Amino acid sequence: MQADADEVEIVARLGTLRLEHRDLDAAIAALSEGGSADQLQLMRLKKRKLRLRDEITLLEDQIIPDIIA
């Protein structure tokens, strides 16, 4: 039963992270299109987006079983 609860928590966390990742993508695009983009702010947003992508990948690996070829 605990494994099912853990998986439900992971799936919920994944949904939250994916939403934040999409929001950051939109914010980066909007800031880039503005013309006078704050390069430091852009860099911070892109780093945050990469960290989210890494965390999403780690969580996906936890719920998708490894297939040994």
Domain locations in the chain as residue ranges: 2-60
The pLDDT value recorded for residue 51 is: 98
25-50 pLDDT, tens digit per residue, is: 999 999 888 776 688 999 999 999 99
16 pLDDT more than 90: yes
1 pLDDT more than 60: no
66 pLDDT more than 70: no
The pLDDT value recorded for residue 15 is: 96
Distance between CA atoms of 26 and 43, rounded to whole angstroms? 14
Residue 39: burial class (beta carbons within 10 Å; 0-12, 13-18, 19+):
exposed
